[in-house]
Homo-oligomer: A and B are copies of this chain.
Amino acid sequence: MTSVINWASLSAAQQQAALARPALADSASLSSQVAEIIRSVRANGDAALRAYSRQFDGLDSNPLVLSAAVKQAQLAKLLPERKAAIELAYDNIRKFHAAQLPCDIEVETSIGVSCQLKSRAIAAVGLYIPGGSAPLPSTVLMLGVPAQLAGCERIVLVTPPGKPQACDIAPEILYAAELCGINEIYTIGGAQAIAALAYGTDSIAKVDKIFGPGNRYVTEAKQQVSQDAQGAQIDMPAGPSEVLVLADSSANAAFVAADLLSQAEHGPDSQVILVSDSSNLIDAVQAEVNRQLALLPRKDIAAAALSHSRYILTADLAQAVAVTNAYAPEHLIVQTACDDELVEQFNSAASIFVGKWTPESAGDYASGTNHVLPTYGYSKTVSSLSLADFYRRFTVQKLSAQGMRNIGPAIVTLAQAESLDAHANAVRLRLAELNSIKG
């Protein structure tokens, strides 16, 4: 059993250490492996993709493109109960994201000076959907719904090839894609899929921005292509998933334990933290975690993640809030007698789950919020994925002759202050013409 950390007894340095994320694995070799994959895909295109499919996926052949006929055949295998659940999740995610549709703005800042801020969909977006042992239709919805609402011209989905045949993609993924209007689907995964999206091949046209979670090869590849102006932008930096549960003595220990475990089962590097002002609650949660863990199919993964979990006892709830804010969790679950008051005090969590009936699973799947979230402390500055990430904002300005008369002299003065005479000239010429018209 993990020992309990008594927060008030720690020095400032110990407190900082208690909230430190596990260091990301040394990535020098990872970085060069991924760079080589990207180089190879840029040089050899589809042939490189097929070679990696043989090497990494053990597939003799991979058509890369998922045809409409194959898609229909796979869709026929979808269980009705799963179809209905995907539809419910789609509806909720769509409702929440539709409320985020941007409005163009127009302001007349001075008489004759019109300024606009416009939002338009990014033209071509690539969605990376992890596959393999656990296909993730929920991630298709989280990326596909906002892309569909924004009206991106091309929405491209890539997912690792199925087995025994490349085209054996989970029907749940394909149905979620269908709801989101996604018709361009490729059976490629890993760093090679990111390279194909960023640079294009004969089969796959380049996209402008890449979204979605993946393993460390995918994450590293996203990072690398985003550093190249010829590559593609990405949604956000990534780190291992994490949850912090803040609970007091009123919380249901079994629920808290289940929430910690649902994060722990994601992967051995998932981070799980309980912060409480009640040692009784901490004891009860630990007992429940052990009881529930034994029953889980993925108990080995969850146990690995739990081995670096932390149980932090604070002097009071105010201290618990301070600990939470310092950690800046990706997921924050609050189960106390005063949830609504506390919510206003959090200043760094990416997604907050309020009260005993709101497990993290709700946001992972079907409440309507997006489950693509900044982790590893990035939520202090990086936003949860939202509709805005599928748009570019740009400005438009137009001065009338009157507008030029009104602000032209100030522009000349400021340009002179900055020693930029050509900037001043561009205005002086126009003011001179206006004076000649008037005269």
Contact = CB atoms under 8 A, between A and B. Distances in A.
B122 A396 contact: no
B258 A425 contact: yes
Interface in A272-286: none
Contacts of A82: 413-414, 417
A400 B362 contact: no
A410 B365 contact: yes
Interface string A371-394: 000001111111110101001111
Number of copies of this chain that the complex holds: 2
Interface in A92-125: 92-93, 95-96, 99-100, 105, 107, 109-110, 113, 115, 117, 120, 122-123
A151 interface: no
B351 A414 contact: no
A370 to B, nearest CB: 7
A364 interface: yes
A424 B95 CA distance: 23
A98 B153 CA distance: 31
B422 A262 contact: yes
B96 A414 contact: no
Given A99-B105, A397-B353, A426 B359 contact: yes
Interface residues of A, number: 128
Contact of A423 (B265, B352, B397, B430): B265
Contacts of A361: 411, 415, 423-424, 426-427
A421 interface: yes
A367 interface: yes
Looking at chain A's contact residues, is the secondary structure mostly helix, strand, loop, or mixed?
mixed
A398 B358 contact: yes
A365 B416 CA distance: 11
A352 B399 CA distance: 12
B138 A418 contact: yes
Contacts of A378: 229, 233
A362 B408 CA distance: 8
Interface of A: 21, 24, 81-82, 84-86, 88-89, 91-93, 95-96, 99-100, 105, 107, 109-110, 113, 115, 117, 120, 122-123, 133-138, 170, 172, 208-209, 223, 227, 229, 232-233, 237, 239, 252, 254-255, 258-259, 261-262, 264-266, 292, 296-298, 302, 339, 343, 347, 349-370, 376-384, 386, 388, 391-401, 403-404, 407, 409-411, 413-415, 417-427, 429-430, 433
The 10 closest A-B pairs by CB, nearest first: A109-B368, A383-B393, A85-B413, A92-B109, A85-B410, A258-B426, A359-B426, A354-B398, A369-B395, A262-B422
Given A82-B413, A384-B395, 8 more contacts: A21-B229, A99-B105, A208-B380, A229-B239, A339-B398, A351-B397, A356-B430, A361-B426
